[in-house]
Amino acid sequence: MSDFDNGDSDNAGLGAILANAQAAVAELADQYIGWVKEDMVRLEAAIAPITDSAGSADAVRLRAVYDVAHDIKGQGSTFGYPLVTEIANLLCRYTEAATKQAKTDRSVIDAHVTALHTVINNRVQGDAGELGREILEALRAAAAKSLA
């Protein structure tokens, strides 16, 4: 007997609602890959004009990257791709810090985008274990080095 099904009709109703919600999310998860690939096209367009820079001219461009990465971050975990969420979150944090420091390293942005493409194209669900941790740590290290 589950926590939702102890014989009480209210709890049984909650169990049915939860089951329906889980089924709806599962159906949307199949569509998620298409949506996130569209977001990746938007991300590629946002990063295209960015070059390594020590000037504040890139603030608007970095904000565009942040906005798309934020959208990607918001959906990944919901649909079973927490590594996508984590990588997009790191990209958001990097663009924020790069904007504040008026210092951009395009190769760091590209590394995040490559990691996102790899996870998405290979449909890597979950956190990918040790490999996922290594990817995240490498991205953190690259960002920290470029902003030091």
Torsion sign (Cα): 26, 125, 121, 137? positive
Residue 72, φ and ψ in degrees, nearest 5? -65, -45
Predicted confidence (pLDDT) at residue 97 exceeds the cutoff of 60: yes
Region 94-119: mean pLDDT is 94
Per-residue pLDDT at 89 exceeds 50: yes
Query: Are 124 and 83 contacting, i.e. CB atoms less than 8 angstroms apart?
Result: yes
Residue found by looking up tokens 């649909």 in the block: 79
Q: Is the pLDDT assigned to residue 5 strictly greater than 50?
A: no
* pLDDT of res. 30: 75
Mean residue pLDDT across the chain: 88
Average pLDDT over residues 70-85: 94
Q: What is the percent of the chain with per-residue pLDDT over 90, rounded to a whole number?
A: 65
Decide: helix, strand or coil at residue 53. Answer: strand
pTM of the predicted structure, to 2 decimals: 0.82
State the pLDDT at residue 39. Answer: 97
pLDDT at residue 101 greater than cutoff 80: yes
Q: Give percent of the chain above pLDDT 70.
A: 89
pLDDT band at 67 (very low <50, low <70, confident <90, very high): very high
